[in-house]
Structure 1
């Protein structure tokens, strides 16, 4: 199966290892991964800030850079959610309407694709410790994923998943929200981190590096013994050479 990889701009610039681990997971699942190096941003920052014309210009390039027929997979529920939902505001009843709808039907967040399209839930991953899962706003509400990441994590050797209260509450990032309303944003991060610590968690895992970046910033500033990890990095961790998958 040919799959086109969408690497969000902040993943490319700040967390490239997550992109490489996404490729490893897809290839281990039998996919042929294609990466168009001319791709850039999906337009979400401009869209969320109210600059829809600029977002439309960026989105136009996105629709040009990706195919209408191949599956498109990204390690970011937030960016996939932008394409699936935000593009309705930008491209409905335009000359790109039909192409946009085709791409919207073919783009998937990583865990959704692995579980629901490829029917894969075990990769021989290992991670010792106790972890909580954070439902990102975009993952839960735009991509409609909830059980998929948890199923994948339940098959990781050595990892104890515990339920965190208010797991579906926002972490406080929200893009420019964290800049414009930094006090509220920091308080929300503090609440999320405290909820994880209450469960004795050593890791906070999610499908969105934007959330994890925000939480890790709070964790580092306050020297808290907690680590954030993207789902792809967990699933590619400590692979057993003899494992069946």
Structure 2
């Protein structure tokens, strides 16, 4: 949903890029950046900390530039290109070293990897830097799976979970495939299928603000399917979706709740309870 928006701004239509092609993964580095995302920073800080813990456990030194802010996606998908470019330019200066940039959000990772080059296509003096950043940007689950090649050892009790991935993360970063593969390594975790799995939860960034009735209907469909699945917990790699889904579940007085994949993996493999 977040890849195609119509707004009051002129020429606001944004069309999703082509499906991602298979990429060549580098050897595991010694140092990485974490791009924490604004939603993680403000609403799910434990997910960012658990992402760092997972990476550090793999022997990596994690750098977190304190000045980082939003990736610029809300402005970009609403048609405010110049404002998005200003936000993106500020991030470019913070990730200057040639280290991978790991992002605990498929939609934000997709913004850096696929949309930053579009933002700066008319600035040849900046485009090379932008493309280099895009090539070394990885969503967290993707990085753990294909670069770190983690082998997870489950230490939790048997549980059934449902996996939700944001619609843009599915299209741009294959986050659903990476999340499924990591959960499959946990011997006592059963991932249950649920209806509406590939459908948007209704958040869609500014969409949920501009069209609250439609957004509300969509998240009710999503949460109904999650509750009907029989899962005891919802897992997602995108905190915007988690915020929307958890809010709807709370309004329904449902005991079901969602948790970021990073926190779930950390807890299941020996981290904090």
By the TM > 0.5 criterion, same fold? yes
Give the conservation status (yes or no) of the 8 Å contact 1:78–1:208.
Answer: yes
Q: Which residue is 1:231 aligned to? A: 261
Structure 2 residues without counterparts, runs of 5 or longer = 1-29
Q: Which residue is 1:78 aligned to? A: 107
Q: Which whole-Å CA distance do the structure 2 matches of 1:128 and 1:202 have between them?
A: 10
Q: Which residue is 1:11 aligned to? A: 40
Aligned pairs for 1:99-178 within 5 A: 99-124=129-154, 126=156, 128-178=158-208
Deviation at 1:102, TM superposition (A): 0.2
Any idea what the Cα deviations from partners look like across 1:154-186, whole Å, max 9, x if unmatched? 223532211112211111100111111111111
Q: Given the two structures, how large is their TM-score scaled by the length of structure 2?
A: 0.84
Q: Which whole-Å CA distance do the structure 1 matches of 2:99 and 2:176 have between them?
A: 24
Give the conservation status (yes or no) of the 8 Å contact 1:125–1:240.
Answer: yes
TM-aligned CA distance change 1:158 to 1:123, over 3 Å:
closer
Deviation at 1:89, TM superposition (A): 2.4
Aligned to 1:33, the other structure's residue is in SS state strand
Any idea what the Cα deviations from partners look like across 1:42-84, whole Å, max 9, x if unmatched? 1111112211111100000111111251101011111111111
Are positions 1:53 and 2:89 aligned together?
no
Q: Which whole-Å CA distance do the structure 1 matches of 2:65 and 2:155 have between them?
A: 28
Deviation at 1:85, TM superposition (A): 1.9
TM-aligned CA distance change 1:125 to 1:222, over 3 Å:
same
2:223 maps to which of 170, 174, 193: 193
Deviation at 1:208, TM superposition (A): 0.3
Q: Which whole-Å CA distance do the structure 2 matches of 1:73 and 1:135 have between them?
A: 17
2:64 maps to which of 32, 35, 49: 35
Q: Which whole-Å CA distance do the structure 2 matches of 1:151 and 1:34 have between them?
A: 26
Give the conservation status (yes or no) of the 8 Å contact 1:42–1:79.
Answer: yes
Give every structure 1 segment of 4 or more consecutive aligned residues whose post-TM-superposition deviation is greater than 3 Å.
Answer: 238-241
